[in-house]
Structure 1
Amino acid sequence: MSIVPSSTQVLVIGGGPAGSTAATLLVREGFDVTLLEREVFPRYHIGESLLPAALEIFDLLGVREKVEAHGFQHKPGAYIDWNSEGWNVKFERLNENQTYSFQVRRDEFDQLLLEHAKSQGVKVFEGTEIKSVSFEGDRPRSATWSQTVGGDRHTGEVSFDFLIDASGRAGVMATQYLKNRHFPSTFQNIATWGYWKNAERLPDGFDGAIATVTVPDGWMWAIPLSDQTMSVGVVMHKSTYKQKRNASLQDLYAGAIADSPVVKKMLAQAELVSEVKVEQDYSYTADSFSGPGYFLLGDAACFLDPLLSTGVHLAIYSALLAAASLTSLQRGEIKEEQAIGFFEKSLSQAYLRFMMLIGAFYDKNCLSENYLSMGQKLTRLSSDQVLAFMHLACGTEDMADAQNPIPNSIFEEIPQQLRERLNILHNQQVSDDIKDKSSDLLKTNAEFFEAVDGFLLRTTPGAGDDLYVVTQPRLGLAQAKVPALQNV
């Protein structure tokens, strides 16, 4: 049995996409990195649809050839049938290096990334749980761990210079120490899903695309996978789910499928080959994502919603931001407050921008022209409305932001628009069944808006504003050149 070291330069908690990406990027820059993962891989995880922006990060990791060779289902785009409006989003309209993505079995994909991290020199310990974190002031300095091998329990402590919390939904730092996680009532959805064999795929060479369609009580996804199964899920608000609580989980799931002509047709000759799974209370955010000596990545920091498949994207994107920040900090190129400021602002803006777009989709009165118009306002990559929406929804706008100083002008309209959007959703979702609890919901939203206000403050000029990610000749942050002041 390998022994967890007593000290390491960077401790990473969690071996999912966020943790393995950050660990690999850091070890490739010469850091001593130890990663502790509670589970033993492979392990099941939902969230199978990747965005095209992942390809650029795969290249930085040196893992793209392995991902390509594994045989995951290629994803050429998405079919969206939303409120009786249907259209295809074809990734081929993006730049030539990001014309597709992948639909993945997460047990296989996550293990591939973790094994790649090992091959690059990351010290990985699976089946090892963090029991506690010790601090010097506000700075985490060590962690105690526990693992069971062959029936024997082993414990120990590891000290570190920097902590990367990629512990997923468990959120070690946010839930146990910072106590700064908030749940917006407007996104309190419940997802149920299962896996089908022999499902019909989308036609016209679009067979690997994800289908996203509305039903009377919510919306559904249909994701084709390389093993000829299809992941099919339905998402509805918790209040709607409670109104239907007399029905069984299986009946709710079957009813949603029957309500969608698109999905019903896809599954007409298919067989359900799994149990029907359910998950709730998965939309949340910490009100800050970093601090002295630590960064929260991926689901440990925030999760929005299955719509637009942003989970893995925000995980690996936040890992890139953290790794670039740490490398420049360690090389003495920037101060810690600059690294924290850059990370906070960059991840906050990505999160808020997706929140606004998803909020528009959930607004029953919004049409495609609203999504496209919003996409154009929140991007800088294209004057073409459709292409601007695609850059935003595909994560490529985030990658452009990371590699350029972020113009605050893009976000000037966010505060009022975001409040209006979330309040509209809240009012649409309050039903007779939950009116008695409306004061509690308003309190929940008020707490969430406090977190959002913190994000919005980080979009104003401050530490890290003039920084951006560079990948050549080394990963790190560069500082935008400010024109010299003229004598007057």
Structure 2
Amino acid sequence: MTVADYKENIVSNLPKSTQILVVGGGPAGTTAATLLAREGFDVTLFEREVFPRYHIGESLLPSSLKVLDLLGVRDKIDAYGFQYKPGGHYHWGDEHWDLNFSDLSGNVTHSYQVRRDEFDKLLLDHAKSQGVKVFEGTEVANLSFENERPKSATWSQTNDKSQTGEIFFDFLIDATGRYGLMANRYLKNREYHEVFQNVAIWGYWKNADRLDNGREGAIIIESLKDGWLWGIPLHDGTISVGLVVHKTIYKEKRSKSLKEIYLEGIAESLDLKRLLEPGELASEVRSEQDYSYVADYFAGQGYFMIGDAACFLDPLLSTGVHLATFSGLLSAASLASVLRKHITEEEAISFFERTYKQAYLRLMAMVSAFYENSKKESYFWQAQQLTKTRQSDKDKEKLHQMFLNVVSGMEDMSDAEENSEELFLELSERLRENWSLRHKQTANDLDKTEQEKLLTSNQFVSRLNGLFSLSKESAVEGLYIVTTPQLGLAKVN
């Protein structure tokens, strides 16, 4: 078959209509598409690139495992041989802290460190095997609307703009990442956070040492005077090492080359510098200005925005794939219930919007607390402005309950936003408490009361690592996700 025949075959097989059009084939798009196809719905997915394609963001949170199980792809992930991630090693400010996933609640012992080009292709191929009609090298040029509801998409082949057509759909799932098809092209509702305007610079090293004591797959996070570093060991023997600095620091150093800025950052470190000493840089040095952002709203009549298409958070806690797969699950469950007429579209939109924003707010507060521990004056007092909040004199008991509600995703997000300054203080206090107890545990110096306190503290850290519950207790506006006998939303009553 010639290239021309191949292109013609793709175009001729493209449907004229579909129940659900998913635009974007990353983890968010493939999660939503696969789950909906497994429920028997007609799903078409357009991906602009032809996989595999390069993408940064290799470290997964434990919450991803639950979604991978729901997708039916967990065995394929295990068989592929990705690096097991037992937890993390943190050298933040004056603190050293090892987080072991086996210590956390939820029967989780590990997650994965992955090469995203390989991981994303595996998920996309799995989507095809589950009945999703996937078309790579196909991009959406324009959307057509009926009132404010998207109804059709004009598409073209990425490498041949003359090959074009139109597809009609009942619902659109926008998983276009930073490109932001709906947010940037039509809604114009994306706002960038002033505080977290960071620049990431990274490369891949070979022949480097790894952590010992059975923690060779753990992510390493190390703070510096003017930023922080990540170290992510991968299954091919390389380690991804990245430097993150605020854009103001980056601009001050622009007289130097990208590689010089990168190597100077590594030279300031302790843990990563030691591990990289026997190794060598085995790739070009790349950079991205992944400024954190959030759309004013994530869904509307006929569409859902998931993953990075809706919001992006500072990469400090490796939350990208978690938010992608979690929002993919939320959109699939919401839409499945609408199509079955179990709930109204308005109910589904409200549930999706509030639940996804709660997850985002919780993680944003966590990131803010970390930065506050490192640079109190430059990050903490600015971070509280991200949610456009005001100070409050509410008592400690109500503050504590509010805090628990935010991290468990149970209550109205606006209740939490009224106390952002206290929330960040409480997060910092709880993190320091956990670190202190872990130090004493390592030295076998915990009394019985402190042992019980560590157990409670570990449960708190579990929530902040993205472990979520599909239960009535996590209901939002009286709705919660169910996976049996069908994926969808159930009402508490």
Q: Which residue of structure 1 aligns with residue 401 of structure 2?
A: none
Instruction: Say if 1:31 and 1:375 are closer, same or farther in 2 by CA, change over 3 A.
Output: farther
Maintained 8 Å contact 1:308/1:393: no
Q: Deviation per CA, 1:388-430, whole angstroms, max 9, x where unpaired?
A: 342133210xx22x533547xxxxxxxxxxxxxxxxxxxxxxx
Q: Which residue of structure 2 aligns with residue 143 of structure 1?
A: 153
Q: Aligned partners of 1:70, 1:229: CA distance in 2, in Å?
A: 16
Instruction: Say if 1:152 and 1:307 are closer, same or farther in 2 by CA, change over 3 A.
Output: closer
- Does residue 1:473 correspond to 2:485, yes or no? yes
Q: Aligned partners of 2:426, 2:271: CA distance in 1, in Å?
A: 22
Cα offset, 1:372, TM superposition: 5.5
Paired residue total: 417
Maintained 8 Å contact 1:375/1:392: no
Q: Which residue of structure 1 aligns with residue 291 of structure 2?
A: 282
Unpaired stretches in structure 2, ≥5 consecutive residues? 1-8, 381-423, 434-452
SS of the aligned residue for 1:98 comes to coil
1:269-308 matches, cutoff 5 A:
269-308=278-317
Cα offset, 1:369, TM superposition: 8.4
Q: Which residue of structure 2 aligns with residue 27 of structure 1?
A: 37
Q: Aligned partners of 1:278, 1:46: CA distance in 2, in Å?
A: 10
Q: Which residue of structure 1 aligns with residue 462 of structure 2?
A: 391
Aligned mate of 1:327, from 308, 331, 336: 336
Aligned mate of 1:44, from 42, 54, 60: 54
SS of the aligned residue for 1:207 comes to coil
Maintained 8 Å contact 2:200/2:290: no
Q: Aligned partners of 1:394, 1:264: CA distance in 2, in Å?
A: 27
**Worse overlay, 361-370 or 128-137:** 361-370
Aligned mate of 1:102, from 91, 109, 112: 112
Instruction: Say if 1:182 and 1:385 are closer, same or farther in 2 by CA, change over 3 A.
Output: farther
Q: Which residue of structure 2 aligns with residue 218 of structure 1?
A: 227
Instruction: Say if 1:152 and 1:191 are closer, same or farther in 2 by CA, change over 3 A.
Output: closer
Q: Aligned partners of 2:186, 2:342: CA distance in 1, in Å?
A: 30
Maintained 8 Å contact 1:40/1:127: yes
When normalised by structure 1's length, the TM-score is 0.82
Aligned mate of 1:70, from 80, 83, 98: 80
Maintained 8 Å contact 1:375/1:385: no
Q: Which residue of structure 2 aligns with residue 373 of structure 1?
A: 430
Q: Which residue of structure 1 aligns with residue 197 of structure 2?
A: 188
1:430-445 matches, cutoff 5 A:
none
Maintained 8 Å contact 1:85/1:368: no
When normalised by structure 2's length, the TM-score is 0.81
Q: Aligned partners of 1:230, 1:354: CA distance in 2, in Å?
A: 25
Q: Which residue of structure 2 aligns with residue 5 of structure 1?
A: 15
Q: Which residue of structure 2 aligns with residue 233 of structure 1?
A: 242
SS of the aligned residue for 2:337 comes to helix
Cα offset, 1:247, TM superposition: 1.7
Root mean square deviation, CA, Å: 2.0
Maintained 8 Å contact 2:48/2:158: no
Aligned mate of 2:164, from 155, 164, 183: 155
Q: Which residue of structure 1 aligns with residue 65 of structure 2?
A: 55
Q: Aligned partners of 1:346, 1:369: CA distance in 2, in Å?
A: 22
Cα offset, 1:206, TM superposition: 0.5
1:94-133 matches, cutoff 5 A:
94-95=104-105, 97-133=107-143
Instruction: Say if 1:207 and 1:162 are closer, same or farther in 2 by CA, change over 3 A.
Output: same
Q: Which residue of structure 1 aligns with residue 91 of structure 2?
A: 81
Q: Aligned partners of 2:270, 2:155: CA distance in 1, in Å?
A: 51
What percentage of residue pairs aligned between the two structures are identical? 58
Q: Aligned partners of 1:96, 1:393: CA distance in 2, in Å?
A: 13
Q: Aligned partners of 1:15, 1:102: CA distance in 2, in Å?
A: 20
Cα offset, 1:383, TM superposition: 8.6
**Worse overlay, 238-247 or 207-216:** 238-247
Unpaired stretches in structure 1, ≥5 consecutive residues? 377-381, 408-463, 482-488
1:192-203 matches, cutoff 5 A:
192-203=201-212
1:421-432 matches, cutoff 5 A:
none
SS of the aligned residue for 1:173 comes to helix
Q: Which residue of structure 1 aligns with residue 357 of structure 2?
A: 348
- Does residue 1:403 correspond to 2:474, yes or no? no
SS of the aligned residue for 1:323 comes to helix
Instruction: Say if 1:148 and 1:348 are closer, same or farther in 2 by CA, change over 3 A.
Output: closer
Q: Which residue of structure 1 aligns with residue 347 of structure 2?
A: 338
SS of the aligned residue for 1:45 comes to coil
Q: Aligned AA for 1:81?
A: H
